[in-house]
Amino acid sequence: MKKRLVVLTGAGMSAESGIATFRGAGGLWNNERVEDVATPEGFHRNPQKVLDFYNKRRKELFDVEPNEGHRILAELEEKFDVRIITQNVDNLHERGGSSNVIHLHGELMKVRSMGGKEEVFELTEDNLEIHVGDKCPKGYQLRPHIVWFGEPVPEIENAVKEVEKADIFLIIGTSMQVYPAAGLINYAPRDIPIYLIDPNQVLLHNDRVQVIQKGASEGMKEFVSLVE
């Protein structure tokens, strides 16, 4: 049986594809206030501003490609049972060839109805924008299928179950500042190896982690040489 490799990824995973991270120099949150574009209150105050923020980011997906790090993760499926838990809302893991991806914070290419019973719709390349007044067939306004700050993270339970069953846990490109995602490390079984790939120092309250201080692509090559 293949060993189960559970991977937690963040914005740094997609940095080498050209998608900006959130924090640090050049980060998205230097230009936009989280409260304005990533909270239910911000959406209530100025829905079109929020829709435009995600419309723009959705379009960016068509200007970028998966990087070597994404591709190596997909190739690892030959040797490992790879389960990816991503905080990213892009689709680069899937486009890189990975088959098991949990999106903790939602997906840019999906929108959902604001009506009582949640209905999710997939957007297509010829229909990438949503605007105030765009409604689902039942007449409710559409919103991005994104987990905003202060909202529940419905996929967290599935993610916890994956981490609890891991034989190896690998963290790539996340500052580990946003919960509950950052808390997933605490569910890793006690006796398994934990690796972290990040070119910068990440503050972790866990001394079991083996740090590979490199970018995602180079870091993935080193990880492969360590586990194969």
Residues marked as catalytic: 105
Q: If binding is defined by CB under 6 A, does position 30 make contact with ligand OAD?
A: no
Neighbours of 92 (CB within 10 A): 23
Q: If binding is defined by CB under 6 A, does position 15 make contact with ligand OAD?
A: yes
Q: What is the largest CA-CA distance in the chain?
A: 54
C-beta of 90 vs 162, nearer to ligand OAD: 90
Q: Which range touches ligand OAD (CB under 6 A), out of 17-25, 41-49, 50-58, 136-144?
A: 17-25
The full length of the chain comes to 228
Q: If binding is defined by CB under 6 A, does position 115 make contact with ligand OAD?
A: no
Instruction: By CB under 6 A, name the one of 6, 7, 8, 16 that touches ligand OAD.
Output: 16
The Cα 85–Cα 96 span in angstroms is 15
Instruction: By CB under 6 A, name the one of 85, 101, 108, 147 that touches ligand OAD.
Output: 147
Q: If binding is defined by CB under 6 A, does position 23 make contact with ligand OAD?
A: yes
CB of 176 to ligand OAD, least distance (A): 6
Instruction: By CB under 6 A, name the one of 11, 51, 61, 142 that touches ligand OAD.
Output: 11
Neighbours of 79 (CB within 10 A): 13
Q: Which two tokens stand for residue 45?
A: 């105050």
Instruction: List binders of ligand OAD among 80-109 (CB under 6 A).
Output: 87, 105
The Cα 191–Cα 25 span in angstroms is 36
Q: If binding is defined by CB under 6 A, does position 22 make contact with ligand OAD?
A: yes
CB of 18 to ligand OAD, least distance (A): 11
C-beta of 54 vs 78, nearer to ligand OAD: 54
CB of 95 to ligand OAD, least distance (A): 17
Residue whose C-alpha is closest to residue 15's, from 59, 82, 64: 64
CB of 148 to ligand OAD, least distance (A): 6
CB of 117 to ligand OAD, least distance (A): 23
Residue whose C-alpha is closest to residue 83's, from 197, 186, 160: 160
Residue whose C-alpha is closest to residue 143's, from 76, 62, 47, 211: 47
Contacts of 8 (CB under 8 A, 6+ apart): 85, 86, 87, 163, 169, 170, 171, 172, 174, 181, 184, 185
Neighbours of 200 (CB within 10 A): 11
Using CB under 6 A as the criterion, which residues of the chain lie in contact with ligand OAD when the complex forms? 10-12, 15-16, 21-24, 27, 38, 87, 105, 147, 173-175, 177-178, 198-200, 202, 215-216
